[in-house]
Structure 1
Amino acid sequence: MKRLGITQTLTNYDFYPKWFTINDLGEDIQLVHLSFEHFDLPLLATLDGVLLTGGIDIYPGCYTHFAPYPNAPSDFQQQRDLFESLVYHHAKRMKMPILGICRGHQLINILEGGKLIQDLGLPGNHKHRADGKDKEHGIKVLEGSYFHSITKQLQGKVNSAHHQAIDPEHIGKNLFPVAWSEEDGVIEAIEYKDTSDTGYLLAVQYHPERMSDTCTHSFSENIKKDFLTAIRQTNFMTLDIKNPATGQILTSLHVDQPSSIKKKYDLLLDGQKAWAKVSLEERIIKIKAFADLLEAEKERLAEILTSEVGKPLQQSRNEINGAISRINWLSGNALKYLSEEVMFQDENITEVIRYEPLGVIANISAWNYPYLVGVNVFIPALLSGNAVAYKPSEYASLTGLEIERLLVKAGIPTNVFQVMLGGAETGEELLRLPLDGYFFTGSYKTGQYIYTKVAPKMVICQCELGGKDPLYVTDDIENVGAVAAGTADGAFYNNGQSCCAVERIYVHEKVYDAYLDAFVKEVSSWKMGDPKEDGVYLGALTRESQLDFLENQVQDALQKGAVLLIGGKRLDRPGYYFEPTVLANVTHEMMVMKEESFGPIIGIMSVKNDEEALKLMADTEYGLTAAVYSVQRDRAENLLSRLNTGTGYWNCCDRVSAALPWSGRQQSGFGATLSHAGIRTFTKVKGYHLRG
């Protein structure tokens, strides 16, 4: 099914969809309403063509200095101007068929660098401006133009309802007029000059959708049929977005191709220079506005997130709340950590440190917490004056598009943040670009590949990778039930799909049996099911492939002597559900204790003392987090200090704070996000020796 987007106009909108009859659309084209009031940017990735409609005047500030002029509206629709400019640029980059009518015709000229005649004056308005009903006048067509080839006419009659027109002295780049009013030479149609690297474009000043004889008039019917043919001939690569709770396709998105990725990069390259000159205070204001929009639209955003990753709705709300909290900390501390520092000063010399932006960076993000791991990177990057090429995971692309929409609404320029849609192919294209930094969150295997590709560029490459995070319960804990409940949550929250989830548990033999009983009791109390239902703690896994992986871990453990206490298999129902699984009598010969599970499965092992626990906790190639539960802080800190991890927990787990660095060691990655270190990660430090 092809999809044609029609931009919203607050006047006479119904004429546009009615112009396309059932016979025109057939069973293969669907009309989509693009609302500037709802700022429907995410819909653009689903479209195969766009129609830019008529309506009130475009705000003059888009193409000249504003000054009062005759017949100007009392209010302009600047949000519409912005929205439709994004629609046009997206369609152009994707080489998507574009049809502009009246205002849309004028907007295209402006967006290509042209200007308008703001008012045609008395004689012109007498011929062109509607007075209760459309006017009618003759036009002449450029012989040999594409417009001529469509309409098969060199002259004819069209309707008219406008008081502005394209300025013939200021026609947009790569545009040329192909039809004019016979009486006064007003430009009535434009198309591209050079079509070697463009898609279909035709724009007309008149209103073909409401001509009195639309079904037979070649200036209406032929244009419509040709435009629909161009849409039917599109062949975009698509990415199916599935609902993990049902396995059904939610929608299909057009992925970026090398040409569109390069165009977006060029856009970011230009935009970053201007963004870096914007004051830090103003950048902070815009980032705070983004946080406010997340709060205002939290329920809708949570529903979208749940629909594409499968986590319970309340956990999606929690994630957005957490993202807002992190944004507030990062924006609240940006001045402190990004302002220049005077290190020494006397009558002869001043020594200063300044923090300069890296430039254009890639944020290759993850699906398990797209808001949280996203804001860890793109928020401090933007605050620091960088532009961001944001590649959301293919499993969280709808959320990535929502992030882009809200950043634009918050005032972040469109040439400072661009979403690159797609899977591995899109990532490969980003690796080919001469970017100034790469920030990846995901698996060790992919992170290692990215690092080897980026290394020759001699730019920063930071990887937040997986983990096999251990937790040790000592023999002196006082409330076994509470510890078991808290640590079970640390292992199974978000279905265990967290890089810092507890992945293996070691329990002192003195409390092992009591802990095991309490742990299984806690897990047994949870509700699993549709993530949109109230009270559900365990929803669907995001990726179908993980079901086989988890079943293999279970079978491997059982074959080697483990005891299955609960769970162990996928649910026999639509969607990607795996029972919460607890294994006892486990050893380090089993996959479940060595390989990252990233699912609702845990092995619990008895140990004789702290030293045995420490040895087993350290027996890993990962190094993200480790936790110790004990009434003695000194005992816990002594153990944690001897483990090669980026984070240590005492009497807590699976926790992240914006004030502390988030970093991994060994195969869990390198570099840091969050804290002052995570803010300055996105800068180049420069020392100034200033004498005089």
Structure 2
Amino acid sequence: MTVQASATATSRNPATGEVIETHPFVSAEDLDTVLRRVQAGFEQWSQTNPETRCEVLARMAGLMRRDAEQLAALITAEMGKPITQSRAEVEKAARVMSWYAENGAEILADTPTQIGPEAHVSYLPLGPVLAVEPWNFPVWQVMRGGITILLGGNAYVLKPAPNVVGCGVAIEALWVEAGLPEGAFSVLNADNEVVSATIADPRIAAVTVTGSVGAGAAIASQAGRVVKRSVLELGGSDAFIVLADADLEEAVDAAIQGRFQNSGQICIAAKRIILHHEIAEEFTEAFVAKVKDLTVGDPTEEDTYIGPIARDDIRQEIHTQVQRTLSEGAQLLAGGELIDGPGNYYQPTVLAGVTPSMTAFREEIFGPVASLILAEDLEDAIAKANDSQFGLSASLWTADAELASTVARRLQVGGVFINGIAVSDPRIPIGGVKNSGYGRELSHFGVHEFTNIQAVWNRGGTDEGVAD
């Protein structure tokens, strides 16, 4: 991995271009001090019982709600999310925290086996976990994996994206106030060289990554060389399939939210909208009209729906992908241009006539760009949905519940959402297949991912079973 040239991470307001704050990287020489603090926090936290951990989670949820406005303002300043959506992000994190506070002890309870009362499975702390997290949900994403890792009795070492370090620092302070031992949640603002050294350090037990395929592959390979567990959530190009019998009004509204929320900067966004040919024209007309009505502007304003792209280099990449797709034969129905003036703004864009050979079909576009794809029939829709390097989630719209269940099993994705957009929820796991990664977050699966799943069998001198 390439070492970053800068000695600091810079947080820059994407709506104005102004520098908010700079944060020095942890040096290779200081890494040992950081990890000794993490290890001390882990040793203290891992000795607590699940009920005590749930009490800390409950306090943390309360503190997040107390400071919701400050946290939301920080999200908006650092990565440009419209303020109403930033508030929703903070509330979601607090709500999920509360859910785990209520259900965490049960999730971590010993599980009986078919052997009988003399054998059970326990879920024990694994150790400090390094989490390399992105910028698009700088509070929720950190909490989505962090809640379950900490609930399991582990320490959480957060390597945030350089442009949202301030959010990570704010979260760390709240965890300490909530009663988490110092060091059990630690922000590691570091360049790639120090991240590699952290992965190799024996005090780190496992690694989780949310980011690009390239970043995930590089970090997972480093973890594999030192035989450490990893979980990867590497984005996607989710299909939003609308069949002929779907409720089109609901589907159009959902497609707007599913594609353009957070200015399109969501892994599980509805990036490829696959339309049955019988309803394609009607859907397209209604969809494009609503896209043109979306309010683009200052993310601190209450009525703004589309804010700036988090970084200008990402905005330029989006524009390149759009222009390449148009040169490949797609039609531009809305947007398609950089917005002049200060800030990293890009017009909400609709591309029609997108085919599997085009850039917008093959690549993930991480911004406010919707690709409309025609399907001749159900089989064509399924084939096009599966024709992707990614396999994170999919949305399926049909009035036929039995058909929906059958189709869901044929979609090569980690989650299928029928007559609704893809969402994350603590009651179900989230994760992908193919180049979208492996492993799961949320639900009991997410908690157990980073535990020592220990079998305990009091055999009492019996000779049942066969030794391996």
Is the aligned partner of 1:671 residue 2:421? Answer: no
Is the aligned partner of 1:302 residue 2:72? Answer: yes
Which is bigger in relative contact order (C-alpha 8 A, separation at least 6)? 2
- CA–CA distance in structure 2, aligned partners of residues 619 and 252 of structure 1: 42
Task: State which of 405, 408, 412 in structure 2 corresponds to 1:637.
Answer: 405
Q: C-alpha root-mean-square deviation of aligned residues, in Å?
A: 1.5
Change in CA separation of 1:413 and 1:508 when aligned onto 2, cut-off 3 Å: same
> Residue 59 of structure 2 corresponds to which residue in structure 1?
289
Is the aligned partner of 1:619 residue 2:387? Answer: yes
Query: Per-residue deviation at 1:447?
Result: 0.3
- CA–CA distance in structure 2, aligned partners of residues 596 and 664 of structure 1: 15
TM-score norm. by structure 1 comes to 0.64
Deviations 1:191-235 (A, max 9, x none): xxxxxxxxxxxxxxxxxxxxxxxxxxxxxxxxxxxxxxxxxxxxx
Q: Is the 8 A contact 1:340 1:354 kept in 2?
A: yes
Query: Per-residue deviation at 1:656?
Result: 1.5
Is the aligned partner of 1:472 residue 2:268? Answer: no
Task: State which of 550, 553, 562 in structure 1 corresponds to 2:321.
Answer: 553
> Residue 453 of structure 2 corresponds to which residue in structure 1?
685
Q: Is the 8 A contact 1:394 1:423 kept in 2?
A: no
> Residue 322 of structure 1 corresponds to which residue in structure 2?
92
Which residues of structure 1 form unaligned runs of 5+? 1-235
Deviations 1:239-266 (A, max 9, x none): 2210011111111112211122221111
> Residue 457 of structure 1 corresponds to which residue in structure 2?
226
Is the aligned partner of 1:358 residue 2:126? Answer: yes
Query: Per-residue deviation at 1:691?
Result: 4.8
Q: Is the 8 A contact 1:485 1:518 kept in 2?
A: no
- CA–CA distance in structure 2, aligned partners of residues 528 and 521 of structure 1: 15
Change in CA separation of 1:316 and 1:330 when aligned onto 2, cut-off 3 Å: same
Query: Per-residue deviation at 1:611?
Result: 0.6
Change in CA separation of 1:665 and 1:508 when aligned onto 2, cut-off 3 Å: same
Amino acid at match of 1:444: V
Deviations 1:355-378 (A, max 9, x none): 111111111111111222211222
Q: Which deviates more from structure 2 when the two are superposed, residues 271-280 or residues 465-474?
A: 271-280
Amino acid at match of 1:491: R
Q: Is the 8 A contact 2:12 2:18 kept in 1?
A: yes
- CA–CA distance in structure 1, aligned partners of residues 291 and 45 of structure 2: 49
Query: Per-residue deviation at 1:342?
Result: 3.8
Deviations 1:164-206 (A, max 9, x none): xxxxxxxxxxxxxxxxxxxxxxxxxxxxxxxxxxxxxxxxxxx
- CA–CA distance in structure 1, aligned partners of residues 279 and 361 of structure 2: 20
Runs of 4+ residues deviating >6 angstroms: none
Deviations 1:325-358 (A, max 9, x none): 2112222221112122343677xx7112211111
- CA–CA distance in structure 2, aligned partners of residues 362 and 477 of structure 1: 43
Amino acid at match of 2:401: R
Is the aligned partner of 1:405 residue 2:173? Answer: yes
Change in CA separation of 1:280 and 1:553 when aligned onto 2, cut-off 3 Å: same
Query: Per-residue deviation at 1:432?
Result: 2.9
Q: Residues 58-69 of structure 1: matches in 2 within 5 Å?
A: none
> Residue 41 of structure 2 corresponds to which residue in structure 1?
271
Is the aligned partner of 1:583 residue 2:351? Answer: yes
Q: Is the 8 A contact 2:45 2:180 kept in 1?
A: no
Deviations 1:590-644 (A, max 9, x none): 1011100010111102221101111111100110001111111122222221011
Q: Is the 8 A contact 2:429 2:442 kept in 1?
A: yes
- CA–CA distance in structure 2, aligned partners of residues 426 and 574 of structure 1: 34
Query: Per-residue deviation at 1:582?
Result: 0.2
Is the aligned partner of 1:343 residue 2:113? Answer: yes
Amino acid at match of 1:580: P
Query: Per-residue deviation at 1:469?
Result: 0.4
Query: Per-residue deviation at 1:423?
Result: 4.1
Q: Is the 8 A contact 1:581 1:602 kept in 2?
A: yes
- CA–CA distance in structure 2, aligned partners of residues 386 and 277 of structure 1: 10
Task: State which of 526, 540, 565 in structure 1 corresponds to 2:333.
Answer: 565
Is the aligned partner of 1:490 residue 2:258? Answer: yes
Task: State which of 250, 257, 260 in structure 1 corresponds to 2:20.
Answer: 250
- CA–CA distance in structure 1, aligned partners of residues 153 and 251 of structure 2: 44
- CA–CA distance in structure 1, aligned partners of residues 227 and 49 of structure 2: 29
Q: Is the 8 A contact 1:420 1:426 kept in 2?
A: no
- CA–CA distance in structure 2, aligned partners of residues 342 and 615 of structure 1: 42
Amino acid at match of 2:318: L
> Residue 277 of structure 2 corresponds to which residue in structure 1?
509
Amino acid at match of 1:502: A
Which residues of structure 2 form unaligned runs of 5+? 1-5, 461-468
Query: Per-residue deviation at 1:425?
Result: 3.8
Is the aligned partner of 1:528 residue 2:306? Answer: no
Query: Per-residue deviation at 1:316?
Result: 0.4
- CA–CA distance in structure 1, aligned partners of residues 422 and 18 of structure 2: 31
Is the aligned partner of 1:261 residue 2:26? Answer: no
> Residue 657 of structure 1 corresponds to which residue in structure 2?
425
Q: Secondary structure at the match of 2:356?
A: coil
Amino acid at match of 1:264: V
Query: Per-residue deviation at 1:511?
Result: 1.0
Query: Per-residue deviation at 1:238?
Result: 2.1
Query: Per-residue deviation at 1:422?
Result: 3.2
Is the aligned partner of 1:539 residue 2:294? Answer: no
Q: Is the 8 A contact 1:330 1:679 kept in 2?
A: no
Change in CA separation of 1:410 and 1:560 when aligned onto 2, cut-off 3 Å: same
Percent identity of paired positions between Structure 1 and Structure 2:
31
Amino acid at match of 1:322: K
Q: Secondary structure at the match of 1:578?
A: coil
- CA–CA distance in structure 2, aligned partners of residues 305 and 426 of structure 1: 26
Query: Per-residue deviation at 1:502?
Result: 0.7
Change in CA separation of 1:423 and 1:651 when aligned onto 2, cut-off 3 Å: farther
> Residue 155 of structure 1 corresponds to which residue in structure 2?
none
Query: Per-residue deviation at 1:490?
Result: 0.4
- Number of positions where the alignment pairs a residue of Structure 1 with one of Structure 2: 454
> Residue 369 of structure 1 corresponds to which residue in structure 2?
137
Q: Residues 121-270 of structure 1: matches in 2 within 5 Å?
A: 237-270=7-40
